[in-house]
Structure 1
Amino acid sequence: MSHSNLMNNYFNPNSVYTEEDFRRRFRMRHHVFERLLRDVQQVNPYFRQKLDRAGCLGDSMDETHGMSESTCFDTIQQFCDIIVQVHKDEYLREPNQEDLNWLIRKAEDCGFLGMIGSLDCMHWDLKNCPTG
């Protein structure tokens, strides 16, 4: 039942909730979610919805509630490993000058001048970043 409700509320063409609702609830745009889902399913068939013994699509959301802690942890670990494997070169890297310029423009458009200077320096080796 949980899976059906989720699908009806967010993923059907006549869904109850809007794109804005989806973004607020899941902290990403719907098309980004769909892309991540496709990428993960391509790498590991475990994440594809499968037919059960009766030939119906399994309701994985309901089955999840019965998963042991170690199975949940292993599944999340696999999911995260796939995301890193597939997207590290594009998204999980240090920003280049083009990225920084885009961030500065975007922040300035919203009235946040000097935004890059306020970023936490711990993760990037910047020439003038204080250490210690």
Structure 2
Amino acid sequence: MARASYSRRVIQVVAQICRPSRAVNIDRDRQRRGEYLLDDYFVCNSAFPDTYFRRHFRMERHLFNKIMGAVCNHDSYFEQKPDAFGAMGLLPEQKINAALRMLAYGASANQVDEIARMRKSTILESLMRFCSAIESIYTTKYL
């Protein structure tokens, strides 16, 4: 009996050692990064003119806003919501920007992480949800 409980404890300790640990939480300063994105491209007196917006996003600003509105109405994932600690989450512009970067430039999630300061899993989730939203919204009209 004592032998079985000892071996059970050894197995539990080995399982604890072999269990992959969670990734370290990196402060990506998502609030400030979102404010920079808005100030650079989306407010009335933005830092960059419309020609820079077109070059960066490969579309006009009004088209981006139309797509963003349609995607946000279709999938609540893209709405800005508070997280578990009460801090506001990512802006819809940030999530859609990450998805468009991957699609337009063929960038990997790691490259977008360095620019957008979003976690890789969030970037990939945004991409998947963005593509499925675009497909379900515009398939009947354009295909």
SS of residue paired to 2:140 = coil
The corresponding residue for 2:119 is 67
In structure 2, the residue matched to 1:41 is 72
Amino acid at match of 1:78: R
Check if 1:3 corresponds to 2:26.
Answer: no
The alignment yields a C-alpha RMSD, in angstroms, of: 2.5
Q: Which moved more, 1:49-58 or 1:7-16?
A: 49-58
2:62 paired with 1:31: yes
Counterpart AA for 1:34:
N
TM-score with structure 2 length normalisation?
0.53
SS at match of 1:46: helix
Q: State the match for 1:100 in structure 2.
A: none
- TM-score normalized by the length of structure 1: 0.57
Name the count of aligned residue pairs. Answer: 90
Structure 2: how far apart are the matches of 1:35 and 1:18?
19
- In structure 2, C-alpha distance between the alignment counterparts of 1:68 and 1:26, rounded to whole Å: 20
- The letter for the 1-side match of 2:89 is G
Unaligned runs of 5+ in 2: 1-31, 95-112
Identity among equivalent pairs (%)? 29
Contact 2:33 2:117 in 1 (8 A): no
Q: Distance in 2 between matches of 1:66 and 1:10?
A: 18
Instruction: State the Cα deviation string for residues 91-117 of structure 1 (Å, max 9, x = none).
Output: 3x2xxxxxxxxxxxxxxxxxxxxxxxx
Name the CA distance, whole Å, in 2 between partners of 1:80 and 1:19: 25
Q: Give a deviation string over 1:44-81, Cα, whole Å, max 9, x none.
A: 111001234676643455x9745244x53233111101
Structure number, greater radius of gyration: 2
Whose relative contact order is higher, 1 or 2, with alpha carbons under 8 Å and at least 6 apart?
2
**In structure 2, the residue corresponding to 1:49 is in which secondary structure?**
coil
The unaligned stretches of length 5 or more in structure 1 are: 94-132
Equivalent residue, structure 1, for 2:43: 12
What does 1:1-132 align with in structure 2 at a 5 Å threshold? 1-52=32-83, 57-59=88-90, 61=94, 65=117, 67-69=119-121, 71-91=122-142, 93=143
